[in-house]
Amino acid sequence: MTVPTWQQLLRTLESEIASGTLQPGQPAPSQRAAARRWGVSVATVTRVYAEATRRGWLHARVGSGTVVARPAAPSSPPPAAGLHDLAMNAPRVPRHLNASALLRDAFARLANGRAHALLDRAGQASEAPQHVEAAAQWLSTLGIDAQPCRTFVTPGAQAGLLVALRSAVGEGGGMACEPLVNPGLVAAAEFVGARLLPVAVDAEGPKPEAVEALAVTRGLRALYASPSCSNPLALHWSARRRQALAAVAEKHDLWVIEDDDLLPMDPATLPLCALAPERTLLIVGLSKLAGFALRTGFVHVPRALVDAYRRHLRAAVWMASPVLAEIAAHWLGTGLMDELVQARRQDAMQHQAIAAALLGGHGYRAPAFGTHGWLPLAKPWDAERFAFHARRHGVAVAADGEFRLAGVRGWAGVRLALSSTASSAELREALEALAHLLAHGPKTG
């Protein structure tokens, strides 16, 4: 079987680090330089670097680029059979739904006539109007006044985020964000040339006065928001905090990039897009709701950015796959997507209850519907050491170094992805192992 190119390059990178060609603390080649060197696309390098970061070989740090990790513990043992992977935040399709049947039905519908209509659209230059209309109608159920003329269909939330950064922040522009952020945001900002500026947070989200100070002193253009369950810190921004941040954005003429895949699972709180509709770009991806096979995202943008977003979307990805967009539109129209959302929410609440019972005494936090949570660590633990010993106990976790921006201190901890295990019993087993490790230390493992 042919090994995918990105996996071959991952092995090459691993060999260079292991041999000392790339030393701990040394900057790794930029993604563009690596793409030129290896003769591949930047997207391929992004995947290699993302996996290398997840494995702890690289740290992505805004301001200093991506550097080779300085290990705080011996190299992790190789993955073992039966390893519980709580590191990759890739939720499975809710277990009581038959993923194979869902996809089989979707493709059967395409085979019965829809595929021909999609493939036969000669000169197709943009998304099909019915897909955009379906997206806008669904977004309108989430608490915003979505309009088709301001709605875009993208090949996943990451593509939507990349274009949003290019349209609203641009090269050299500053964007405030939490001190620990999704590596996908770091990669997108590096690609665009935007500056990510960490802002002080508390249990309710970023502090408005801290965002305002950055707006005055650092020339902010935007605020990054993932308010339902931020990644990785699992902060749920309160309604009061969202209103205050919307006011700051209006006062200082900031764009808000609201990247919130879990918004459909958070019906009780208005999105920032509803509070500052002419300042906010809302991005909702479907893969965390319906499974990673459905790489489709919806983006709703302010009127002032519609033309720029359309232009940059065409330059970056041209358009989303009409086939996947058709499946998404069908699921939206039949109510299946809402069923998937409710199933995901039910699963998440069950998983979070297990996590709270086993790890709540150790400071674990997450909103009840979150698909991941944050476990803070105190001495004698640091995240790398804890991740190493957790793996020896059969559990993979994501250490804070994967998410940390340059210059950020504190926030020692690990992210736990709760919806990637095969069953609730497996999740409980994994979390019990972590609870035992926290209670008794590494020597008992």
> Residue 68 forms beta bridges with which residues?
58
Distance, CA of 122 to CA of 236 (rounded, Å): 45
What's the mean pLDDT in 351-378? 97
What's the mean pLDDT in 50-62? 79
pTM: 0.81
Distance, CA of 31 to CA of 14 (rounded, Å): 16
Say whether 279 sits in a helix, a strand or coil.
coil
Distance, CA of 423 to CA of 17 (rounded, Å): 36
Pairing of strands 413-417, 372-376: antiparallel
Going by pLDDT thresholds of 50, 70 and 90, the confidence category of residue 137 is: very high
CB 419 within 8 A of CB 290: no
Type and span of the H or E element at 417: strand 413-417
What number of other Cβ atoms are within 10 A of residue 370's Cβ? 27
What's the mean pLDDT in 133-137? 97
Looking up tokens 């006062």 gives 251
> Residue 174 forms beta bridges with which residues?
195, 220
Distance, CA of 48 to CA of 33 (rounded, Å): 13
The distance in angstroms from the start CA to the end CA of the chain is 37
The residue with greater pLDDT, 109 or 196, is 196
Going by pLDDT thresholds of 50, 70 and 90, the confidence category of residue 2 is: very low
Tell me how far CA of residue 37 lies from CA of 236, 277, 381, in angstroms. Answer: 42, 43, 39
CB 302 within 8 A of CB 282: no
Q: What domains are there in the chain, each with its CATH number?
A: 5-68 (1.10.10.10), 84-89+338-444 (3.90.1150.10), 124-334 (3.40.640.10)
CB 115 within 8 A of CB 257: no
Q: What is the pLDDT of residues 381-425, one digit of tens each?
A: 989 889 989 988 899 999 998 898 888 888 899 999 998 887 899
What number of other Cβ atoms are within 10 A of residue 26's Cβ? 12
Q: What is the pLDDT of residues 67-108, one digit of tens each?
A: 888 543 344 444 444 688 999 887 777 766 676 777 777 777
Mean residue pLDDT of the chain comes to: 87
CB 165 within 8 A of CB 308: no
CB-count exposure of residue 289 (10 Å: 0-12, 13-18, 19+): buried
Residue 264 preceded by cis peptide, ω within 30: no
The residue with greater pLDDT, 123 or 201, is 201
Residue 140 pLDDT > 80: yes
Going by pLDDT thresholds of 50, 70 and 90, the confidence category of residue 125 is: low
CB-count exposure of residue 349 (10 Å: 0-12, 13-18, 19+): middle
Degrees, nearest 5: CA angle 345-348-353: 125
Say whether 67 sits in a helix, a strand or coil.
strand
The fraction of the chain above a pLDDT of 70, given in percent, is 89
Pairing of strands 205-206, 201-202: antiparallel
Distance, CA of 276 to CA of 278 (rounded, Å): 6
pLDDT of residue 158: 94
pLDDT of residue 124: 60
Type and span of the H or E element at 229: none
Distance, CA of 56 to CA of 71 (rounded, Å): 8
Residues in the chain: 445
Closest to 133 measured CA to CA, from 306, 268, 330: 330
pLDDT of residue 64: 64
Distance, CA of 11 to CA of 15 (rounded, Å): 6
What's the mean pLDDT in 25-29? 84
Say whether 411 sits in a helix, a strand or coil.
coil
Looking up tokens 């004698």 gives 380
pLDDT of residue 62: 60
Least confident of 155-164, 297-306, 387-396, 436-445: 436-445
Handedness of CA 113, 116, 121, 127 (dihedral sign): positive
What number of other Cβ atoms are within 10 A of residue 305's Cβ? 18
Q: Which residues, 6+ apart, have CB-to-CB distance to 425 below 8 Å?
A: none
CB 107 within 8 A of CB 324: no
Residue 162 pLDDT > 50: yes
Degrees, nearest 5: CA angle 409-413-417: 135
Residue 234 pLDDT > 70: yes
Distance, CA of 181 to CA of 441 (rounded, Å): 28
Residue 153 pLDDT > 90: yes
> How far out from the chain centre does Cα 25 lie?
26
Closest to 167 measured CA to CA, from 305, 267, 12: 305
Going by pLDDT thresholds of 50, 70 and 90, the confidence category of residue 306 is: very high
Least confident of 29-33, 227-231, 344-348, 382-386: 29-33
CB 245 within 8 A of CB 206: yes
